[in-house]
Structure 1
Amino acid sequence: MTLEIITADALTPARHGFFTRRGGASSGVFSGLNCGAGSSDQSDMVAINRARVADAMNVAHDHLVSVHQFHSTDVVTLTEPPSEKPRADAMVTATPGLALSVLSADCQPVLFHDPKAGIVGAAHAGWRGALDGILEATIKAMEGLGANRENINAAIGPCISQSAYEVGPDFLDEFLADDHDNARFFANGAGDRMQFDLPAFGLHRLRRAGVGHAEWTRHCTYTDADRFFSYRRSVHAKEADYGRLIAAISL
């Protein structure tokens, strides 16, 4: 099966893609294109999957770069492939031939491009990172390379949608403590539960930061098991582990 790659017109002409799980070498709960080296999948299968992504991005296999994600607001600026995987949740570069990649399985993969300055970025933005400011930090790092935020286009890839994202009152309280207007990203659920709109919150933060354009591909990871891995779906199914989707961008 060939790879399935979701793209966003706003990110052209940068080579980019939000890769689905289709076209990979992994099996079992990881069936498809699992690119998560931190999963319990066979390491050689993950390596094959990542090599397929690098080929699709038209970069050398060691130029498909990743970070050790931990829901932070840390961003690294790269000019060459790092010798060790940095601890961060976003990367930016102005170097052609480097494909910046992030992994996700319900969190937001966000790709950035300033076509005028020739700068790209990639961020992993779960609720924690988005609330703490990982998207704004990525934009600031791009500006450090010479980007203008008014020229930056950003696209949020497949992530969990509001109908599938049930949260409790403590979760809501964190967002209201940050800004009471964040209440608009929550809908009433069953009992004391709420439904959180993660991509709408991500778009809000991007637009408030002043990017030229921001969009969501409108794909839900939880509800489309044939195309996407989902952490929350794996928990509900009582599976031992889950695959990780990859998103990448390069000049």
Structure 2
Amino acid sequence: MNAIKPTWPAPGAIHALVTTRQGGVSHSPYDTLNLGDHVGDDPARVIANRQLLRAYVPAEPIWLKQTHRIQVSTPDTRTQFSSKPYEADAAVTNIPDEVLAIMTADCLPVLLSNADGTVIGAAHAGWRGLCDGVLENTVSEMLKLSHQSSAANIIAWMGPAIGPESFEVGEDVVGRFQECGLHDMKQCFLPISNRPGKYLADLYQLARDRLKRAGVESTFGGDLCTVLDQGQFFSYRRDGVTGRFASLIWISS
């Protein structure tokens, strides 16, 4: 199995990795390491791919049913609602060896840790989730798990997502962010020449804006485009029918 390790100054107890599309058993168009069980792939091959991943993490990942909303799965809610997969677009924990996982194929995965490595988070941040506050909610739930932490002591790493050269949006998306109080519209949305009402959106910059609003100043990553790098990543915008890769984070015991 091929994987990418985030480059960020996370504490020694924090481990993270991002799978690629390489090293699995799925056939085209899910070739080969598809981890999504909701995209039309052979379920047996998805199970086999998840078993390949299991050798790299200390426990079975907490798989979420992601719905482009802002619900955060916490240790308490996972105890109260034991049915799986948990319906949420982010997860937090302070429990060692509990593996948080976000699956994407263009949306932005964001991994977070506090300064002492005792609380972590993972968020699925598409443009809807960013606009509605999924990152702010994730930071808020992390702080509830460690009363000694502050948002200023949290660092974030932004994983592979559709890059600013590939993410075309319309005025509806721009308007939504105007309504939710985006600080720097010009830096996040570049008008496309000769195409009125069309813009190139910078998902990474949008995430930085929302993280800063939540009090998180230290952000890393944001340089891997799923659309342009067909060899490593699945991309829904590029391919339509495709697989999903995972961004995972855990605290070592």
Is the TM value for this pair above 0.5?
A: yes
1:12 is displaced (CA, Å) by: 4.2
Question: What whole-Å deviation, never above 9, does each CA across 1:137-193 have from its counterpart, x for those lacking one?
Answer: 000000110142222111110000111011112221211222264422100114121
Q: 1:186 aligns with which of 189, 200, 207?
A: 189
Distance 1:188 1:217, change over 3 A: closer
**Which of 68, 73, 98 in structure 2 is aligned with 1:71?**
68
Q: Structure 2 unaligned runs (5+)?
A: none
Q: Using the TM superposition, name which of 19-28 and 136-145 deviates more.
A: 19-28
Aligned equivalent of 2:4: 5
Shift of 1:121: 0.8
| Alpha-carbon distance in structure 2 between the residues aligned to 1:45 and 1:176 | 43
Name the counterpart of 1:91: 91
Q: How does 1:167-246 map to 2 (within 5 A)?
A: 167-179=169-181, 181-184=183-186, 185-189=188-192, 190-192=194-196, 193-235=198-240, 241-246=241-246
Letter in 1 for 2:159: G
Cα 1:119–1:206 change in 2 (3 A) is same
In the TM superposition, 1:98-109 aligns within 5 A as 98-109=98-109
* Conserved 8 A contact 2:226-2:233: yes
Change (3 A) 1:98 1:182: same
Instruction: Tell me whether 1:166 sits opposite 2:168 in the alignment.
Output: yes
Q: Post-superposition shift, 1:17?
A: 0.8
Determine the C-alpha separation between the residues in 1 that align with 2:220 and 2:189. Answer: 19
2:65 is paired with a residue of what secondary structure? coil
Cα distance between partner residues in 2 of 1:217 and 1:201: 11
TM-score (norm 2): 0.90
For the 8 Å contact 1:203–1:215, the answer to whether it is kept is: no
Q: How many residues align?
A: 242
Percent sequence identity over matched residues?
Answer: 33
Whole-angstrom distance in 1 between the partners of 2:170 and 2:245: 26
In structure 1, C-alpha distance between the alignment counterparts of 2:221 and 2:209, rounded to whole Å: 11
CA contact 1:10–1:154 (8 Å) conserved in 2: no
In the alignment, is the contact (CA less than 8 A) between 1:222 and 1:232 conserved in 2? yes
Letter in 1 for 2:25: A
Q: Is the 8 A contact 1:207 1:214 kept in 2?
A: no
TM-score (structure 1 length as normaliser): 0.90
Q: Which runs of 4+ in 1 moved over 6 A?
A: none
Range with greater deviation from structure 2 (159-168 or 206-215): 206-215
Residues 204, 222 of structure 2: 8 Å contact kept = no
Larger relative helix fraction: 1
**TM superposition shift of 1:11:** 2.9
| Aligned-partner Cα distance in 2 for 1:98–1:121 | 11
1:4-44 per-residue CA deviation (whole Å, 9 max, x = no partner) reads 22322233421111221121121101102111011111111
